[in-house]
Every structure is written in C-alpha cells, then in structure tokens.
Amino acid sequence: AQSVTQLGSHVSVSEGALVLLRCNYSSSVPPYLFWYVQYPNQGLQLLLKYTTGATLVKGINGFEAEFKKSETSFHLTKPSAHMSDAAEYFCAVSEDGGTSYGKLTFGQGTILTVHP
Amino acid sequence: EAQVTQNPRYLITVTGKKLTVTCSQNMNHEYMSWYRQDPGLGLRQIYYSMNVEVTDKGDVPEGYKVSRKEKRNFPLILESPSPNQTSLYFCASSIRTGSMQAFFGQGTRLTVV
C-alpha cells in the first residue's frame, strides 16, 4: 500500500527566503510522485511530477523537487519565496499496477505562509 | 478549454435529505474519482471509476454512491447525508495510467446540519 507523509502542517517564511516543504512516501512499486498546490477557494493545480528519468524535477512558478529513492523523499523547494506562493501544498504518490492502479494518495498538506 | 466542472460549488442541506453533486469532464479521460478534503487529513479517495460502468470503492466509501453511465459524467450521491459528511469534495479525472496528472474540479463545499 502506498502512503505519503508531509512533515509540518504549517511552514512560515519571509519573502525572498528559501522554501522547503518536506515529503516522504511509501510505495511497494516504483512510484510516481506529484506536488499539487491549492490556492484559497480553488481546486488543486499540478506544480510538478516525477515519473522516470532525471531525479531533479522543475515545475511551474520556480519550484523544483528532487526524488531520492534511498531516502524515500520528494521534497519541494523554491530558492526565493514570493507573496503569491502562499497556499496549501500537497504531495501525492501514484502507482501503476496492483490495487492502487492510477490512484493518487495524498499527504496531509502543508500550509505555506509568506511574510513581507 | 480542458476542465472538470463540479456543481454546486456550495451546498447546505439537512440530515437525511438525498443530494447529488455532479461532475463532468471534457477531456475524454477514462479515470475519474471523488475525494473529500478535511483539515489535517489531506484528500482521501471516496470512489473511483476506470471507465464507463466500472466503479470501485476508495478509502472512505461509506455513505456515498456513484455511477458512471457516460464517460464524461461521474456524479456523487449521498442517499442520507449526515453531519460527518460535512467536507470539501473534489472530482478529478485523468488518463488511465498512474504517471499522468489528475485534473481537479473547483470543489464543492458541503455542510450537513
């Protein structure tokens, strides 16, 4: 069975500071990993995803994430936070095959606050 | 424009009064699913469908029903809503493979009193 743990339900940074949102996963087969962002009163929007190949993945709005198989991690980073980055972020894992075919399993979410 | 459309966006209802939340996608996706979002719990899958007339339970199916009579539509039915079903609901669709992103609707905020 697949699962996702996001460390820290709330993260607060200053504008211009590094953003680091942590995600660890568990999967019985090679995983597909995603980060989604949710702005207030909106649906989820894909930030980036890892399927195969290069382990450092770049997404929209300057975000990137690195797949580390040995650490079962997929942390999200952005070098310099902007006020518009304030939102809730969800890490998710998906698999092909077995009973989890195509299913997205989400972490608990991390609310990012950006201070001026 | 590729989109997943849910209706209504907001709904307040009373315990026991049957309701349906509609979901429609225009991307010809095979895979559709419903999630509920609760604070501190993230999104949890309620039901999913791999294609027309093929549906199965997700992680939290109790109290919900779904149907998939057409490829584009995947309504969520609450036969007898209870207050513990007060939540934010999302419909999602994707191509039938785990590597493809899911597209989400705008959400339906349901309050059961």
Separation of alpha carbons A16 and A80, rounded Å: 4
User: Taking 90 as the threshold, does the pLDDT of residue A41 lie above it?
Assistant: no
How close does chain B come to A69, measured CA to CA in Å? Answer: 17
Locate A98 and state its tokens. 């077995």
Average predicted confidence (pLDDT) for chain B: 94
Contact A104 B33 (CB under 8 A): yes
Contact A43 B31 (CB under 8 A): no
Separation of alpha carbons A69 and B110, rounded Å: 39
Residues A7-29, mean pLDDT to the nearest whole number: 94
Which of A8-22, A48-62, B71-85 is least confident?
A: A48-62
Cα end-to-end span (Å), chain B: 36
Give Cα separations from B80 to A105, B5, B9, B112 (angstroms). 27, 24, 20, 10
Residue A99 pLDDT grade (very low, low, confident, very high; cuts 50, 70, 90)? low
Contact A101, B104 (CB under 8 A): no
Q: Which one, of A112, A27, A102, A45, lies nearest residue A76 by Cα? A: A112
Average predicted confidence (pLDDT) for chain A: 91
- Best of B45, B99, B103, B109 to substitute, by most chain A Cβ atoms within 10 angstroms, is B99
